Amino acid sequence: MNAAKYIWMNGEFIPWEKAQIHVLSHTLHYGNGVIEGTKAYKTDKGYAIFRLNDHTRRLKESAKMTLINIPYTVEELDNAQIELIRINEFTGDNVYIRPFAFLGYGVMGLYHKDAPVETAIAAWEWGAYLGEEGMQRGIRLKVASMTRPANTSNMGKAKATANYLNSQMAKFEAIESGYDEALLLDDHGYVAEASGAGFFMVREGKLISPPNDNSLESITQKTVIEYAEDLGYEVIRRRISREELYIADEAFLTGTAAEITPVREIDARIVGEGHRGPITEKIQSGYFDIVFGRNKKYEHYLTYVTQ
Ligand SMILES: Cc1ncc(COP(=O)(O)O)c(C=O)c1O
């Protein structure tokens, strides 16, 4: 990975290589932690963080769900992210920001009430999550053999580190099978989300995306819905069964890291014409206009980092 200069940890900016923890930190053993994934883009007016407040609020909400008490306000965490981008003196087109909270050293056993909460924010330059070629040509998606855990035993809406074991197994399986990314169904067999992104398909000119019954409430998904409706497209939130995936006219993934990644194949079925579809392309280029500050209507989603 691309190391940066500083990491924010428990209220202080410290050198990147000094941001270390004890091997007996609680989260390393029992998996209760929460993360965010936020992104800053280099606009004509300097770096701007996209939907900063929405991401930070989601971090605090994930923590509330998983019983982690982050001792910082949303405002304090927002300001720390702005300052982190400033002092790291990045130069690339975009910077990924990873705020997170986890349980540190001092308590063992599952009852975590007295475990110290550690809060940190790292930021680094990161290229296209699913590859530059994938952004142009589209990626190949495999439906994972594992489903998302049922809502009766999981908290899919929390961006909890524990949820990423399921994602990690699915992603590994997809790549080992020669695909680029995994798509996970819910325990009833309907599409939930990709291992680290939301899912959209296009049929008869309409955009369809599953409800967040068993998936993260994706901020990019929300942005795409708002933007697509602005463009005059009908967007439908409904369940998608596996066989319907195979007859989609177009498909794409949405995520802060994945941005808008076209899908060209699902489980050996060619999607549409086998390349990025026309509606996908429109949404993708419109999304980049928004995050790079080229669409005035969406400028309220940008937090500029002044130098
Ligand atoms: C499991 C999962 N679903 C969906 C998303 C997309 O969410 P967002 O658009 O808020 O980045 C992510 C990315 O963080 C994710 O990890």
Q: Retrieve residue 160's tokens.
A: 């909890």
Ligand 1 pocket: which of 154, 191, 220, 287 to mutate (most atoms <8 Å of CB)?
Answer: 220
Average pLDDT over residues 154-180: 96
pLDDT at 151 over 80: yes
For the chain, domain boundaries: 6-125, 132-291
pLDDT at 128 over 80: no
Residue 154 confidence (pLDDT): 87
Q: What is the mean pLDDT of the chain?
A: 96
159 flagged as catalytic: yes
pLDDT tens sequence across 8-51 = 999 999 999 999 999 999 999 999 999 999 999 999 999 999 99
CATH architecture of 132-291: Alpha-Beta Barrel (3.20)
CA of 106 to the centre of ligand 1 (A): 31
Between 191 and 307, the higher pLDDT residue: 191
**Atom 16 (ligand 1): residue with closest C-alpha?**
196
* Fold exhibited by the domain 6-125: D-amino Acid Aminotransferase; Chain A, domain 1 (3.30.470)
Catalytic residue among 39, 60, 157, 159: 159
- Smallest CA-to-CA distance from 106 within 18, 21, 19 is with 21
Residue 196 confidence (pLDDT): 97
Which atom of ligand 1 is least distant from the CA of 36? 14
pTM given for the model: 0.96
**Atom 4 (ligand 1): residue with closest C-alpha?**
197
Do domains 6-125 and 132-291 share one topology? The answer is no
Residue 130 confidence (pLDDT): 73
pLDDT tens sequence across 85-116 = 999 999 999 999 999 999 999 999 999 999 99
CA of 223 to the centre of ligand 1 (A): 12
